[in-house]
């Protein structure tokens, strides 16, 4: 409230009214546009009734409108009608590393932006780099040009930190090793394919990264990596991640969500299988659904593998030729609300606990061209369950009910 006038002065009614306060997340002033503190809040600029959608470059938590959903479904139908040829499907699925090698050969290190935002999205990355954190091992799967590993090492104060930055592209590893920021005291860049079978080497050697043992990693980073794998490779990837993680170790996950603009934009001859595409450069990409992601990570066990149907007709035909079909049928049941559910998921306690799982859904705006673009990413934290001497795993801190609430609200 403004100070009252001195004796003999006059004041108008408007001077007694406080001016409206603009929330920090709506301010155009960069000094007032405060960053959020909850890593899974995904921003706080909500699009409300009466707002001018072109006032800002981006809005958070925006559901796609009816027109966009209708347009997306029309695009999906066109994609299915004009898939990649069987020859091209076999090419893209049999030699994915070759296309990523070409990608990193064509783009130098300056092409990629450092992911400095990861320390805020995943605070555990800040914790392992603290001066007194002690011996910590971080494994990044699909490290690319090092744009996650280098910021982590450059901000490190922990003398006992070791970051293994692995990629199945030899050119990507070469780019990292030739960087001025590459420091083998805290980092190793190695060629490694997370989908290797456990004894893939002719000599029966381990499929784990060089110098790495089972149960030795504190944190595994998967940033836009699982989407680059074919669905029938997910089981092998989860198995290797499970093997390297310590009990209680965490997986940090971020990847493409279903309905993202990138999926809707795909033209003909890019469709490989349902929600699975090939880009113009030959690299592959899958778009996940939150519930699908929950089933993958909460239902997987070392004994049973991935207990869900991860193949559709297109990919199944290709792998049957090689005798590698991995399709597991489950019997649907109906819950008390009449909704179909998978009986297997309720009877098996998975090897990973879901700590967080959220949808980062944004509306990006091109104000000059008056264009609206919907983006969708999924972000999660998973933890390897601790098995006690009795053989029982640690009771989860998240229940199916709380996870369902998280998915419904899309933010945690």
Structural fold of domain 48-409: Rossmann fold (3.40.50)
* Residue 325: predicted pLDDT: 33
236, HSE (Cβ side, Cα atoms, 13 Å): 17
Interstrand relation of 136-141 and 245-256 (parallel, antiparallel or unpaired): unpaired
- In DSSP terms, 140 is beta-bridged to 165, 221
C-alpha–C-alpha distance, residues 351 and 387, integer Å: 9
In which region does residue 126 sit, left (phi positive, over 0), alpha (psi from -120 to 50) or beta (all else)? alpha
47 is written with which tokens?
């699009």
Residue 388: what pLDDT? 60
Full-model pTM: 0.74
CA-CA distance, 149 to 153, in Å (whole number)? 6
Per-residue pLDDT tens over the stretch 93-141: 988 888 888 887 776 555 566 676 787 789 899 999 999 999 999 999 9
Strand-strand pairing, 332-334 and 284-286: unpaired
Report how far apart, in Å, the C-alpha atoms of 84 and of each of 41, 229, 274, 310 are. Answer: 38, 17, 12, 19
Q: How many CA atoms lie within 13 A of 301 on its CB side?
A: 12
Whole-number Cα distances in Å, 247 to 3, 96, 355, 382, 399: 61, 31, 14, 12, 19
- Residues forming a β-bridge with 187: 163
Find, among 154, 259, 260, 162, the residue nearest to 210 by Cα.
162
Record the tokens describing residue 60, joined without a space: 């958070």
Give the tens place of pLDDT for each residue, 160-219. Answer: 999 999 998 898 899 899 988 899 999 999 999 999 887 655 544 467 888 889 999 999
Per-residue pLDDT at 25? 53
3-state secondary structure of 47: coil
What SS3 class is residue 199? coil
Q: How far is CA 218 from the centre of its chain?
A: 18
- What tens-digit pLDDT sequence spans the chain (412 residues)? 555 555 555 555 444 455 556 555 555 555 555 555 555 555 566 666 666 665 666 766 677 788 888 999 999 999 999 999 999 999 999 888 888 888 877 765 555 666 767 877 898 999 999 999 999 999 999 998 888 999 999 999 999 999 999 998 898 899 899 988 899 999 999 999 999 887 655 544 467 888 889 999 999 999 999 999 999 999 999 999 999 999 999 999 999 999 999 999 999 999 999 999 999 888 899 999 999 999 999 999 999 888 766 544 443 443 333 333 333 333 333 344 444 444 434 445 789 999 999 998 888 777 777 777 888 999 999 999 987 655 555 555 544 444 444 444 443 3
Per-residue pLDDT, 50: 67
Distance of CA 169 to the CA centre of its chain: 20
The whole-number pLDDT of residue 305 equals 87
Characterize 10-21 residue by residue with b for buried, 16 or more Cβ atoms within 10 angstroms of its Cβ, and e for exposed: eeeeeeeeeeee
Q: Write down the pLDDT at residue 411.
A: 39
Q: 3-state DSSP: the chain helix, strand, coil percent, rounded to 5?
A: 30, 20, 50
**Phi, psi angles (nearest 5°) of residue 347:** -95, -15
């Amino acid at each position: 409230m403004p100070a009252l006038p001195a004796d003999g002065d006059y004041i108008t009614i408007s001077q007694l009214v406080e001016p409206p306060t603009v929330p920090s997340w709506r301010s155009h002033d960069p000094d007032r546009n405060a960053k959020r503190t909850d890593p899974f809040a995904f921003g706080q600029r909500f699009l409300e009734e009466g707002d001018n959608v072109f006032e800002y470059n981006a809005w958070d938590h925006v559901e796609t409108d009816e027109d966009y959903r209708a347009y997306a479904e029309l695009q999906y139908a066109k994609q299915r009608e004009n898939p990649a040829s069987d020859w091209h499907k076999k090419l893209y699925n049999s030699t994915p590393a070759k296309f990523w090698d070409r990608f990193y050969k064509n783009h130098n290190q300056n092409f990629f932006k450092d992911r400095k935002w990861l320390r805020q999205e995943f605070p555990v990355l800040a914790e392992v780099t603290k001066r007194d954190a002690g011996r910590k091992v971080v494994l990044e799967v699909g490290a690319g040009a090092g744009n996650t590993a280098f910021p982590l090492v450059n901000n490190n104060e922990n003398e006992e930190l070791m970051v293994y930055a692995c990629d199945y592209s030899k050119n990507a590893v070469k780019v990292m090793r030739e960087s001025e920021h590459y420091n083998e005291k805290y980092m190793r860049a190695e060629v490694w394919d997370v989908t290797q079978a456990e004894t893939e080497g002719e000599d029966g050697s381990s499929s784990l990264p060089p110098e790495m043992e089972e149960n030795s990693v504190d944190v595994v980073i998967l940033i836009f990596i699982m989407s680059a794998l074919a669905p029938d490779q997910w089981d092998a990837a989860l198995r290797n991640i499970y093997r390297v993680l310590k009990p209680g170790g965490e997986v940090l996950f971020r990847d493409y969500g279903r309905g993202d603009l990138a999926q809707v934009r795909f033209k003909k001859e890019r469709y490989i299988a349902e929600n699975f595409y090939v880009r113009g450069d030959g690299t592959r990409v899958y778009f996940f659904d939150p519930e699908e992601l929950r089933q993958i990570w909460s239902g997987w066990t070392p004994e049973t593998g991935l207990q869900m149907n991860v193949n559709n007709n297109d990919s199944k035909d290709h792998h049957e030729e090689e005798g590698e079909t991995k399709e597991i049928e489950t019997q649907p049941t109906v819950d008390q609300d009449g909704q179909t559910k998978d009986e297997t998921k309720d009877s098996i306690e998975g090897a990973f606990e879901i700590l967080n799982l959220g949808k980062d859904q944004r509306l990006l705006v091109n104000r000059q061209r008056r264009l609206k673009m919907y983006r969708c990413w999924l972000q999660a934290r998973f933890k390897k369950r601790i098995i006690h001497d009795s053989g029982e795993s640690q009771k989860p801190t998240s229940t199916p009910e709380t996870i369902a609430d998280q998915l419904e609200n899309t933010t945690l």
